[in-house]
């Protein structure tokens, strides 16, 4: 089904890209003469999505260097550093400038910060005596379209700075980008924000409408916005998704909508960066499919293609000519796409194959709150065999979040075994996990083997406080995040969002969007959200009678801290089921492994 205003959304999405492009070009144009560009390697992929080498060249860029430790020698009049705004990176730039000035005092230096300026960086430049020598610019890019209706702000370190370090400097950029998005799409009449950071962002956005202006656009193209902190629903980022894209991300890692395939997948000597796009017919068909159904689909398509080639063999000259002229390119692209996806499937089976079913069972047991001992045993086996540390941490976190009743000894023993396998330095990782709410240490019981000082008072407290109310279960029950077990559904042809986790769990944000689309009254939704930890904020524009009932069935979902492929898959299914349009945005794309990596002290 094609949504009536489909084309319109595509063009508006493209306009976000154009605004970013314009902003970058403006900065480059403000720097006179030829310049060399030194780019933070982490910025390469997002920049590819915004601009190309040709465009940079057209605006005076001579050479493009990756920023490394060694200093860049430039023959141009200006040297432009393009980096993420981060004090340490800025210090590296400053060091390079100092070194370069020893040799060539005529060169002009520019520092372009993404996505915002930071006061400490300006102070650093002043202190190093480089004020007026290094010119600071800010490149506040807009949300970057990754695929159709999927946007990303591509600030992966936002999770760490905001959630772990409690440094909110980056939030103002997020707010600004949501403001500019509404300048293009029209002001969103109903906004629901969930969590502390989301509330801050929403308040900033409201402020921006007062200060920077409101959109002229008469029609509100987007009817609803939901902003949520990642910390509200960690479960969706810890569980293993069963969709094709989810597993692709799990095994190969999707970066900025592209995935790097090695020799085993492509059969080519050099790794190939493959852009995942819904415009690719094959990918579009399988992207959200349950993995069990992907291989058969690909096989069918491969057979069709074979049949097509067989037909050609028997075809007469005219048909062949027609084919070569019109179809061959499409067919060849399709063939390549097919072969890559088949290769990727094999890669996924090879990497997950043996453990997949078992892992699914363990995740299911943990989420359903049963067979705790078995789950612990599984984790212990993973640790003993030194399998991936991120997998072990994910399961430990999942257990800690969902099981309100992990004992002090169980926690201590898991921690101890983890430290044996991966090093005592990870004591800090556990501490970080505690800080962000992914792990908790219960109070020691009197029988503790871990040096707890058990006195009677402690024991009494323990007895009295049991059974603990588990927030996870409370929230899940209130919001009906556990799919109905009696209503067994065909996972291959899903009719409910829980399919992304094999019918185990529905991502919280998706359920919330569903409630909004069902036009549940405010009071009902607010009641359901009461159990969710963290503040929620409901801001609604007062609309004229007819307008409110005709609110566009278009939802913008924003996850601060990163959105997961499972959430995207579930929302895209919801879109189909409810005949609505859902635009998904994250401060970055996230999965369980990336989440854990952010918590390991570098």
Partner 1 sequence: MELKPKGKISMEDELLVLRRKVQNRWEAPPVEETLRRILLRLPFSLDAYRSLEEKTKLLDAALEQGNGDAILSNRWEAPPVEETLRRILLRLPFSLDAYRSLEEKTKLLDAALEQGNGDAILSLPELNNLLESLGRSREASIIQFNLAMRGVDNARTNPSRSQRVLNSLRNCLASHFSNGAAEMDRPFIVNAIKLFEWQMAADEKFKSMKGESSAEECTLGLAALATLSHSCRYHWEGNKPKSGVTDPLSPSALCQSLGISQRAYQWTALKVKAQEHNWEAGWFQGIRLIGGGSGAPMADVAAELHSQGAPEDVVVRYINLVEGIEERIALANRLQCYNAAIDIMKSQGDRLGIIKLKSRLPTGSEGELYAELILRSSTIRWKN
Binding site for partner 1 (CB under 8 A): 87, 91, 119-120, 123-124, 127, 164-169, 171-172, 197, 200-201, 203-204, 207, 211-212, 354, 358, 377, 380-381, 383-386, 412, 415-417, 419-425, 427-428, 431-432, 441, 444, 450-452, 601
Q: Which of residues 46 and 412 has its CB atom nearest to partner 1 in the complex?
A: 412
Taking the complex as a whole, the smallest distance from the CB of residue 384 to partner 1 amounts, in Å, to: 4
What is the b/e burial string over 442-455, where b = at least 16 CB atoms within 10 angstroms of the residue's CB? bebbeebeeebeee
Give kind and range of the element (H or E) at residue 7. Answer: helix 6-30
3-state class of 236 per DSSP? Answer: helix
Enumerate residues 6+ apart whose C-beta is below 8 A from 315: 323
Q: Which of residues 5 and 138 has its CB atom nearest to partner 1 in the complex?
A: 138
Q: Which of residues 215 and 452 has its CB atom nearest to partner 1 in the complex?
A: 452
Place of tokens 């799919």: 483
Rounded Cα distance between 332 and 500, Å, is 31
Q: Which of residues 106 and 385 has its CB atom nearest to partner 1 in the complex?
A: 385
Taking the complex as a whole, the smallest distance from the CB of residue 214 to partner 1 amounts, in Å, to: 16
Please state whether beta strands 554-560 and 581-586 pair in parallel, antiparallel, or not at all (unpaired): parallel
Q: Which of residues 167 and 327 has its CB atom nearest to partner 1 in the complex?
A: 167
- DSSP of 209-254, one letter per residue? HHHT-----SS-S--EEEEEEGGGG-HHHHSPP-BHHHHHHHHT-E
Taking each helix axis as running N to C, give the angle between helix 427-436 and helix 592-599, from 0 to 180 degrees, rounded to the nearest 10: 110
Taking the complex as a whole, the smallest distance from the CB of residue 596 to partner 1 amounts, in Å, to: 16
Q: Which of residues 131 and 424 has its CB atom nearest to partner 1 in the complex?
A: 424
Taking the complex as a whole, the smallest distance from the CB of residue 173 to partner 1 amounts, in Å, to: 11
Enumerate residues 6+ apart whose C-beta is below 8 A from 422: 386, 389
Enumerate residues 6+ apart whose C-beta is below 8 A from 251: 347, 348, 351, 352
Rounded Cα distance between 32 and 29, Å, is 7
Q: Are 421 and 391 in contact (CB under 8 A)?
A: no
Taking the complex as a whole, the smallest distance from the CB of residue 407 to partner 1 amounts, in Å, to: 14
Rounded Cα distance between 110 and 35, Å, is 10
Q: Which of residues 206 and 297 has its CB atom nearest to partner 1 in the complex?
A: 206
From the CA atom positions of the chain, what is the Rg in Å? 26
Q: Are 121 and 87 in contact (CB under 8 A)?
A: yes
Q: Which of residues 419 and 577 has its CB atom nearest to partner 1 in the complex?
A: 419
3-state class of 554 per DSSP? Answer: strand
Taking the complex as a whole, the smallest distance from the CB of residue 424 to partner 1 amounts, in Å, to: 4
Q: Which of residues 74 and 432 has its CB atom nearest to partner 1 in the complex?
A: 432
Which residues on adjacent β-strands are paired with residue 228? 194, 559
The encoded tokens of residue 75 equal 């023959």
Q: Are 496 and 463 in contact (CB under 8 A)?
A: no
Helix intervals (H) in 292-441: 294-314, 317-326, 328-368, 372-384, 389-402, 408-422, 427-436
Q: Which of residues 405 and 424 has its CB atom nearest to partner 1 in the complex?
A: 424
**DSSP label of 443:** P
Q: Which of residues 311 and 416 has its CB atom nearest to partner 1 in the complex?
A: 416
Taking the complex as a whole, the smallest distance from the CB of residue 141 to partner 1 amounts, in Å, to: 18
Taking the complex as a whole, the smallest distance from the CB of residue 325 to partner 1 amounts, in Å, to: 45
Rounded Cα distance between 290 and 470, Å, is 30
Taking the complex as a whole, the smallest distance from the CB of residue 124 to partner 1 amounts, in Å, to: 7
Taking the complex as a whole, the smallest distance from the CB of residue 436 to partner 1 amounts, in Å, to: 12
Q: Which of residues 14 and 434 has its CB atom nearest to partner 1 in the complex?
A: 434
Q: Which of residues 268 and 459 has its CB atom nearest to partner 1 in the complex?
A: 459
Q: Are 188 and 556 in contact (CB under 8 A)?
A: yes
The encoded tokens of residue 76 equal 């141009």
Give kind and range of the element (H or E) at residue 284. Answer: helix 281-286
Q: Which of residues 80 and 376 has its CB atom nearest to partner 1 in the complex?
A: 376
Measure the N-to-C terminal CA separation of the chain; round to a whole number of Å.
47
The encoded tokens of residue 15 equal 């306009």
Taking the complex as a whole, the smallest distance from the CB of residue 578 to partner 1 amounts, in Å, to: 33
Query: CA angle, 277 as apex, 275 and 266 as ends, to 5°?
Result: 40
Rounded Cα distance between 421 and 383, Å, is 6
Cα of 250 vs its chain's centroid, Å: 12
Rounded Cα distance between 108 and 382, Å, is 54
Taking the complex as a whole, the smallest distance from the CB of residue 55 to partner 1 amounts, in Å, to: 28
């Amino acid at each position: 089904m094609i949504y009536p205003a489909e084309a319109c959304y595509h063009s508006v999405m493209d306009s976000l890209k154009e605004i970013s492009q314009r902003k970058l070009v403006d900065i480059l144009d403000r720097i006179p003469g030829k310049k060399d560009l030194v780019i933070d390697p982490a910025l390469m992929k997002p920049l590819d999505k915004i601009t190309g080498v040709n465009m940079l060249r057209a605006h005076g860029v001579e050479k493009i260097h990756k920023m490394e430790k060694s200093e860049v020698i430039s023959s141009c009049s200006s040297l432009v550093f393009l980096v993420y705004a981060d004090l340490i990176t800025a210090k590296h730039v400053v060091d390079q400038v100092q070194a370069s000035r020893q040799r060539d005092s005529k060169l002009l230096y520019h520092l372009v910060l993404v996505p915002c300026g930071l006061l400490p960086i300006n102070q650093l430049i002043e202190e190093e005596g480089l004020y007026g020598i290094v010119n600071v610019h800010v490149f506040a890019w807009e949300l970057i379209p990754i695929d159709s209706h999927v946007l990303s702000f591509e600030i992966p370190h936002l999770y760490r700075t905001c959630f772990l370090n409690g440094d909110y400097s980056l939030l103002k950029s997020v707010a600004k980008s949501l403001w500019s998005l509404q300048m293009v799409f029209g002001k969103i009449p109903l906004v629901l924000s969930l969590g502390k950071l989301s509330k801050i962002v929403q308040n900033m956005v409201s402020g921006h409408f007062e200060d920077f202006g409101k959109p002229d656009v008469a029609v509100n193209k987007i009817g609803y916005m939901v902003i949520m902190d990642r910390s509200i629903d960690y479960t969706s980022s810890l569980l293993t998704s069963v969709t094709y894209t989810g597993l692709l991300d799990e095994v190969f890692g999707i970066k900025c909508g592209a995935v790097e395939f090695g020799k085993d997948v492509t059969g080519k000597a050099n790794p190939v960066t493959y852009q995942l796009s819904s415009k690719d017919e094959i990918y579009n068909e399988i992207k959200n499919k349950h993995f069990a159904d992907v291989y058969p689909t690909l096989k069918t398509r491969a057979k069709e293609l074979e049949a097509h080639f067989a037909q050609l063999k028997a075809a007469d000259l005219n048909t062949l000519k027609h084919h070569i002229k019109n179809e061959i390119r499409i067919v060849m692209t399709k063939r390549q796409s097919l072969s890559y996806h088949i290769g990727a499937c094999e890669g996924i089976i090879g990497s997950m194959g043996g453990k997949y079913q078992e892992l699914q069972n363990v995740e299911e047991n943990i989420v359903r709150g049963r067979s705790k001992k078995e789950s612990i045993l599984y984790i212990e086996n993973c640790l003993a065999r030194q399998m991936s540390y991120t997998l072990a941490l994910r399961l430990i976190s999942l257990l800690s979040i969902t099981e309100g009743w992990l004992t002090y000894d169980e926690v201590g023993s898991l921690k101890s075994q983890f430290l044996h396998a991966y090093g005592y330095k990870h004591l800090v990782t556990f501490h970080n996990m505690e800080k962000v709410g992914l792990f908790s240490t219960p109070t020691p019981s009197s029988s503790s083997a871990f040096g707890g000082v058990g006195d009677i008072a402690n024991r009494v407290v323990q007895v009295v406080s049991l059974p603990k109310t588990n927030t996870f279960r409370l929230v899940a029950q209130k919001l009906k995040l556990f799919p109905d077990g009696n209503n067994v559904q065909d996972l291959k042809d899903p009719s409910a969002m829980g399919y992304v986790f094999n019918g185990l769990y529905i991502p919280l944000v998706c359920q919330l969007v569903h409630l909004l689309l069902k036009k549940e009254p405010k009071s009902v939704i607010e009641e359901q959200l009461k159990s969710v930890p963290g503040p929620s904020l409901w801001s609604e524009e007062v609309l004229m009678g007819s307008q409110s009932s005709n609110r566009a069935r278009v939802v913008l979902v924003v996850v601060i801290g990163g959105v997961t492929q499972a959430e995207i898959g579930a929302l895209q299914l919801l879109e189909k089921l409810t005949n609505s349009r859902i635009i998904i945005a994250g401060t970055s794309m996230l999965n369980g492994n990336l989440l854990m990596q952010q918590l390991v002290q570098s």
